[in-house]
Amino acid sequence: MNSMGRLRLAGICMLAPLTLAGVSSSVSAAAVDLSLWSAESYPAVSGFGAGIWTVNATNDSVTQSVNGQPTVFYSDFPAFGTAVEGTIRVANSGGDDDYIGFVLGFQPYDSTNPAADYLLVDWKRAPQSYNFGTPSASPGGNAPAGLAVSRVFGIPDADEFWQHTNLSGTPETSGLQELARGATLGSTRWEFNRDYVFTFDFGPHDLQIYVDDVLQFDLAGDFSNGRLGFYNFSQAQVIYSAFTVEEGSFTVVPIPAAAWLLGSGLMGLLTVARRKTL
């Protein structure tokens, strides 16, 4: 446990067995095929369009090339019970200083889902105040520098993603709630042309995130299952590469049918025995 302590978070726990195509418990780590992943973006605002995700020829790297709205490139496998590791780098082409990161528990079409509920891990290079235009109806405000984990619920607008909060202009059921900031990177900017290795270990009740082998987050709660994905907001030329997946520390273990039937049978016998003693 790090100095932040353990956090108790609200959410929906969906216990589902771990099923990764081509990955078994006997394999230490398998390369992720990014050609199987999908992209979606939040609604465009003036000057900020949808993301463009381009996978390389060997399917082990993807580049997001647009300075646009919040955009997600998400996996073909559920994140519960996995340990995922890979590298993120921002190429220095034109500067900029905005958000890069990841999502956990993201479901397909969550960008338009009023019931969406997932975790966002994003990293801002420099603090900046901004007010986005239509259709973002919330007031502008400041985005602090550093690495954070937030809960995303409903369909936030651009100003809510920017400020990590729930603002007027959207329903109360749409917004963000910042949960924690990185142990050593909570107010630290990311650097151009530098590789950062992220490691995620995710289960129904636990999330650990390392950056370059340093534990930044150690959270406990009831988390929603869904996909792991890459995330950008107003930041171009972000490269994700060399990602691998293996069985994590917080593996989902479903109750076998035989064990369930045995338990039900024992409960039945105990009930009958109790009735006979009355």
Residue 24 domain flag: no
Six-digit token pair at 120? Answer: 């966002």
Residue 9 domain flag: no
The pair phi, psi for residue 229, each rounded to 5°, is -150, 165
- Spatial strand order of the sheet with 117-124 comes to 38-41, 71-78, 227-233, 99-106, 117-124, 146-153, 175-181
CATH number at residue 156: 2.60.120.200
Higher pLDDT, 63 or 27: 63
Over residues 163-176, mean pLDDT: 97
Pair 233, 162: CB distance under 8 Å: yes
25: number of CA atoms within 13 Å, CB side? Answer: 7
* pLDDT of 42 over the 70 cut: yes
Residue 272 domain flag: yes
H/E element holding 242? strand 238-247
H/E element holding 78? strand 71-78
Read off the pLDDT band of 27 (50, 70, 90).
low
* pLDDT of 67 over the 70 cut: yes
Q: Does the pTM exceed 0.85?
A: no
* pLDDT of 104 over the 60 cut: yes
CA distance 87 to 132: 30
Nearest to 155 by CA among 138, 133, 173: 173
The per-residue pLDDT for range 236-251, each reduced to its tens digit, is: 999 999 999 999 999 8
CA distance 223 to 81: 12
Residue 8 domain flag: no
Lowest-pLDDT range of 51-60, 165-174, 260-269? 260-269
117: number of CA atoms within 13 Å, CB side? Answer: 12
Residue 211 domain flag: yes
**Percent of the chain surpassing pLDDT 90:** 74
* pLDDT of 271 over the 90 cut: no
Pair 225, 204: CB distance under 8 Å: yes
* pLDDT of 262 over the 80 cut: no
* pLDDT of 119 over the 80 cut: yes
Q: What's the confidence (pLDDT) of residue 254? A: 55
Lowest-pLDDT range of 183-187, 194-198, 222-226, 258-262? 258-262
The number of distinct structural domains making up the chain is 1
Residues near 125 by Cβ (< 8 Å), separated by ≥ 6? 96, 97, 98, 145, 189, 190
Residue 22 domain flag: no
Nearest to 98 by CA among 139, 48, 138: 48
**Percent of the chain surpassing pLDDT 70:** 80
Pair 54, 48: CB distance under 8 Å: no
Domain that holds residue 45: 30-277
Read off the pLDDT band of 44 (50, 70, 90).
confident
Residue 3 domain flag: no
Higher pLDDT, 8 or 125: 125
**Could you tell me the CA-to-CA distances from 58 to 90, 161, 186, 241, 244 in Å, in that order?**
20, 32, 34, 11, 14
Average pLDDT, the chain: 85
* SS3 category, 266: helix
Residue 15 domain flag: no
Q: What's the confidence (pLDDT) of residue 256? A: 52
Q: What's the confidence (pLDDT) of residue 16? A: 39
Q: What is the distance, to the nearest Å, from the Cα of residue 72 to the centroid of all Cα atoms in its chain? A: 10
Over residues 144-170, mean pLDDT: 97
